[in-house]
Structure 1
Amino acid sequence: MQDTLHQHSPTISIGGRPICNLRFADDIDLIAGSQAELQVLTDRLVASSKAFGMEVSSEKSKVMVSSERVNDASITMDDEPLELVHKFKYLGATLHEDGSSTVEVCTQIALATAAFVKLGKIWKSSISFKAKHKLFRSFVSSILTYGCETWKLRADTERRIQAFENKCLRKLLRISYKDHEPLLATVKLQKLAWFGHVTRHDSLSKTILQGTVEGKLRRGRQKKAWCDNIKEWTGMAMYELVRSASDRDAWRQKTDSSALRSPRRPHRSRD
């Protein structure tokens, strides 16, 4: 990647920090502000990989456009056009072109439902409700909440999570609401905890989470941002959140009370 990015000037910056790629092991996500820039980065990556005896799979490589003005891009790899998609999986999470988390939430609910059905014999067995609930949290809830720290929750996605849990508990587990921690509260708790963790470390995640992208805001109502959930659940402004999250113990107490707070009446959500 050092050879690929040599003397390259990214056109996208967040919080004043240029960003043109995300990497984890052999998974590389190239980011560009234009089709021409993305094509240059792709060509450089292929050339650099070949120089070290490696190949980039064109079959597994996809192109996704996230823009309100542009909805198409033609990128090639070794003269072979790459598939343009509206969503794709990266590190186990489904990313959508509009930045929403609805598809990812629905995917995890489907996987959790499948796991729940497979354990049908256990739910119908004579073991204690307490043991069933522990198994439910270990083998079902853990699947649904995978990667939930990055979700952007809207009123409709919150209802989906609550409906899934209610169906499971009502039809099979028959556990009183007083005997368990709501699944939605678990999602909120993990997301709040991740905000605190990122805030206390100087990393790329912190830059992306708290930084701003250059350019003008679109006209009309703005889309709901990831941090809007944190502000709504805690009732705090961003500067207060940053200051509060710097104290680990104080933030943990704040997240517990915010996650378990009764949800407000659903209102018309932003996209």
Structure 2
Amino acid sequence: MTLSSSKFPGVELLPGGSLVDLEYADDIVLFGEDADKMQSLLTTISNNASMFGMRFSPSKCKMLLQDWVASTPELMIGSEVIERVDRFTYLGSLISPCGLVCDEISARIQKARLAFANLRHF
């Protein structure tokens, strides 16, 4: 799906370059700096998906806020509110609001410990 960057500006990565979304298979991450624009983006994507017989499951959608100074927005898909989380995993990588790598490293060390503990020694 191609999103118009003029209607949905996303977030600025470099001067003159913005990022609206990341898409991989059925995983989508949306970026935005304004709650109203994010709600509009969610509604547009949801409506476009429904034209093809698809729908988003609000229980599988999450909202992560980074450097958010305004009151916590209430984004919705249809009549259901999207859950706000402090971190989530996207394509196997831990995403947190601070954006530090230490959270990802700690998560991977924990996964390695669990995998090692489950090994059977002969």
Q: Does 1:13 align with 2:27?
A: no
Partner of 2:92: 92
Contact 1:73 1:84 in 2 (8 A): no
Q: Which has the higher helix share?
A: 1
Q: Which has the higher contact order (CA 8 A, sep 6+)?
A: 1
AA of the residue aligned to 2:20: C
CA distance in 2, matches of 1:37, 1:55: 20
Q: Which residue of 1 aligns with 2:111?
A: 111
Change (3 A) 1:117 1:71: farther
CA contact (8 A) 1:65 1:73 kept: no
Q: Secondary structure at the match of 1:121?
A: coil
- Divergent runs of 4+, >3 A: 4-7
Task: Using structure 2 for the length normalisation, give the TM-score.
Answer: 0.87
Unaligned ranges ≥5, structure 1 = 123-271
The gaps in structure 2 that reach 5 residues or longer are: none
Could you give the per-residue CA deviations for residues 10-33 of structure 1, whole angstroms, max 9, x where no partner exists? 052222112111111111111111
Aligned-pair distance for 1:108? 1.3
* Secondary structure class of the residue paired with 2:33: coil
Aligned residue in 1 for 2:75: 75
- Give the match for residue 143 of structure 1: none
Aligned to 2:35: 35
Give the CA deviation at 1:9.
3.9
Offset, 1:57: 1.3
Using the TM superposition, give the Cα deviation of residue 63 of structure 1 relative to its aligned residue in structure 2, in angstroms.
0.6
- The RMSD of aligned alpha carbons is 2.0
Aligned equivalents of 1:9, 1:105: Cα separation in 2: 33
**Residues 5 and 52 of structure 1: CA distance in aligned 2, closer, same or farther (over 3 Å):** farther
Mapped partners of 2:73, 2:39: distance in 1: 10
**TM-score computed with the length of structure 1 as normaliser:** 0.41
The aligned counterpart of 1:135 is none
Specify which structure has the higher proportion of strand.
Answer: 2
